[in-house]
């Protein structure tokens, strides 16, 4: 999501300055690659690139292809075969061993449904969405349709193609709905008598929203790291001496509140995570009690395991029975076991654990993973 925001911001700046733009999108991968389908890069007519479609190995040639797209003013599909050790175009022995299809789209700034504007619609709302890019692998030389279709979780639909094949639109719409529900991007091939089409349906979801309860010094690096990742960040504390805007990143929302009033000021969804680190036992206790009934994926509790045990005992004395489902979303002590000692190290362990939990991963070492890193 952060990459999309940066691309859209760069596009806005470029168009105000009268500069042309090309959007490069990875639409299909066979084998391995550094970036997966959905990776995007904006190229300006002065050669400036925002975003990335690889680890740096493809960008040089991609710039040349983008500049050619400026001249032709039409979309083009380019294949990069990183498994070919003799391919001088992308470099020898890159090690990725994959075939990567990249779509280059010239952005017509006067088109209200150009690819950038479609992406803008997606990130404007905090909900799941499917972005459809249509192309033809069987004839790469022809003008490709490109990014053309957006379905949002609330059912809003934007179709950027005026004359869409009648038999194709219902099929794409149905597949896009499946992608939104499953949370997994898809590559599809559809054939009509007059049309052979491939389409990449990119699943895009809201960024993680992190609420740090506690505005002590150890909260600062946690907020900074979350900001680097492009997460939406908030910090809450009952002390106005600590919960001050100038102590945190500019994008961070700072709230001064009693624990029982916090949730009245925050919108919670399936991507909202909390870390309780006030170093005030009663504040953390009351905050956890308020959070338990909520449908959220992660509640981190800073401190030793005995702190969580004591909180659960005190809740039990109040007649509050914590169910196994509620207990499963409490991570106390918070963070992965990486031997963290300093505030920065602890912050990195917490950030990594949240990322793993939200993505349904275990947080194990990649060298122990038997299959591919990405599905």
Full set of structural domains in the chain with CATH: 2-204 (no CATH), 209-358 (3.40.50.720)
Q: What is the pLDDT of residue 222?
A: 96
Q: What is the pLDDT of residue 137?
A: 87
pLDDT band for 140, please (50, 70, 90 cuts). confident
Question: How much is the average pLDDT of 344-348?
Answer: 97
Closest listed residue to residue 77, CA positions, set 61, 53, 52, 101? 101
**272-304 tens-digit pLDDT:** 999 999 999 999 999 999 999 999 999 999 999
249 against 351, higher pLDDT? 351
Q: Which residue has the tokens 């925002």?
A: 50
What secondary structure letter does DSSP report for 373? S
Query: Residue 236 and residue 291: Cα distance in Å, rounded?
Result: 14
* Residues 305, 241 contacting (CB under 8 angstroms): no
How do strand 186-192 and strand 157-159 relate by DSSP bridges?
Answer: unpaired
pLDDT at 149 over 50: yes
290-326 burial code (b ≥16 CB/10 A, e <16): bbbeeebbbbbbbbeeebbeebbeebeeeeeeeeeeb
Q: What is the pLDDT of residue 93?
A: 45
pLDDT at 89 over 60: no
Q: What is the pLDDT of residue 91?
A: 46
Q: What is the pLDDT of residue 168?
A: 73
**42-79 tens-digit pLDDT:** 999 898 999 988 877 788 888 888 888 888 888 889 98
Peptide bond into 298 cis (omega under 30): no
Q: Which residue has the tokens 């219902």?
A: 170
pLDDT band for 163, please (50, 70, 90 cuts). low
Q: What is the pLDDT of residue 374?
A: 60
Q: Range with the lowest mean pLDDT among 126-135, 181-190, 320-329, 362-371? A: 362-371
Q: Range with the lowest mean pLDDT among 198-202, 313-317, 328-332, 366-370? A: 366-370
Q: What is the pLDDT of residue 85?
A: 57
Q: What is the pTM of this model?
A: 0.83
Closest listed residue to residue 211, CA positions, set 230, 231, 229? 231
Q: What is the pLDDT of residue 1?
A: 78
Q: What is the pLDDT of residue 99?
A: 86
* Residues 147, 132 contacting (CB under 8 angstroms): yes
SS3 158: strand
Structure tokens at 101: 């299809």
Query: Residue 250 and residue 287: Cα distance in Å, rounded?
Result: 25
pLDDT at 35 over 90: no
Q: What is the pLDDT of residue 92?
A: 39
Complete edge-to-edge strand list for the sheet that includes strand 272-276: 253-256, 232-237, 209-213, 272-276, 298-301, 330-331
Closest listed residue to residue 37, CA positions, set 201, 208, 205? 201
**Which residues lie across from 301 on neighbouring strands?**
276
Query: Residue 333 and residue 354: Cα distance in Å, rounded?
Result: 13
Q: What is the pLDDT of residue 164?
A: 58
Complete edge-to-edge strand list for the sheet that includes strand 98-106: 49-51, 40-44, 21-31, 98-106, 76-81
∠ at Cα 180 (177, 182), nearest 5°?
Answer: 105
Question: How much is the average pLDDT of 196-211?
Answer: 91
Q: What is the pLDDT of residue 232?
A: 92
pLDDT at 81 over 90: no
127 against 130, higher pLDDT? 130
Neighbours of 185 (CB within 10 A): 17
352 against 88, higher pLDDT? 352
Question: How much is the average pLDDT of 264-277?
Answer: 93
Query: Residue 224 and residue 243: Cα distance in Å, rounded?
Result: 15
Q: What value does the mean pLDDT of the chain take? A: 88
Closest listed residue to residue 64, CA positions, set 55, 76, 30? 76
Kindly list the distances between the CA atom of residue 120 and the CA atoms of 5, 11, 123, 175, in Å, as whole numbers in the listed order: 8, 11, 5, 22
DSSP-assigned states of every residue in 188-249:
EEEEETTEEEEEEEEEE-PPPEEEEE--STTHHHHHHHHHHTT-EEEEEES-TTT--GGGS-
* Residues 112, 173 contacting (CB under 8 angstroms): no
First and final CA of the chain: distance in angstroms? 19
Q: What is the pLDDT of residue 309?
A: 95
Closest listed residue to residue 211, CA positions, set 185, 186, 243? 243
Closest listed residue to residue 132, CA positions, set 166, 180, 80? 180
Cα-Cα-Cα-Cα torsion 157, 162, 168, 170, nearest 10 degrees, comes to: 30
């Amino acid at each position: 999501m952060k990459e999309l925001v940066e691309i859209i911001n760069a596009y806005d700046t470029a168009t105000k300055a009268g500069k042309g733009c090309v959007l490069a999108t990875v639409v299909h991968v066979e084998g391995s690659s550094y970036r997966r389908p959905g990776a995007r890069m904006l190229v300006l007519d002065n050669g400036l690139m925002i975003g990335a479609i690889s680890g740096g190995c493809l960008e040089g040639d991609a710039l040349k292809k983008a500049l050619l797209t400026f001249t032709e003013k039409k979309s083009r599909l380019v294949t990069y075969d990183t498994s070919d050790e003799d391919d001088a175009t992308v470099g020898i022995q890159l090690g990725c061993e994959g075939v990567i299809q990249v779509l280059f789209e010239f952005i017509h700034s006067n088109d209200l449904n150009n690819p950038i504007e479609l992406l803008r619609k997606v990130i404007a709302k905090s909900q799941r969405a499917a972005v459809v890019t249509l192309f033809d692998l069987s004839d790469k030389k022809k003008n490709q349709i490109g990014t053309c279709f957006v379905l949002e979780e609330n059912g809003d639909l934007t179709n950027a193609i005026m004359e869409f094949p009648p038999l194709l639109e219902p099929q794409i719409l149905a597949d896009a709905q499946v992608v939104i529900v499953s949370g997994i991007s898809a590559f599809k091939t559809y054939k009509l008598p007059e049309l052979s089409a491939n389409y990449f349906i990119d699943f895009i979801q809201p960024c993680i929203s992190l609420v740090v309860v506690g505005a002590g010094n150890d909260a600062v690096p946690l907020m900074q790291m979350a900001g680097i990742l492009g997460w939406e960040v908030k910090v809450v504390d009952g002390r106005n001496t600590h919960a001050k805007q100038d102590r945190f990143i500019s994008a961070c929302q700072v709230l001064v509140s009693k624990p029982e009033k916090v949730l009245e000021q925050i919108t919670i969804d399936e991507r909202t995570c909390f870390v309780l680190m006030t170093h005030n036992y009663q504040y953390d206790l009351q905050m956890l009690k308020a959070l338990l009934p909520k449908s959220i994926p992660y509640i981190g509790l800073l401190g030793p395991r005995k702190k969580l045990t004591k909180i659960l005992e005190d809740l039990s004395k109040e007649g509050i029975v914590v169910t196994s489902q509620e207990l499963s979303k409490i991570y106390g002590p918070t963070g992965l076991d990486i031997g963290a000692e300093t505030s920065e190290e602890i912050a990195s362990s917490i950030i990594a654990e949240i990322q793993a939990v939200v993505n349904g991963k275990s947080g194990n070492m990649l060298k122990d993973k038997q299959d591919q890193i990405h599905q």
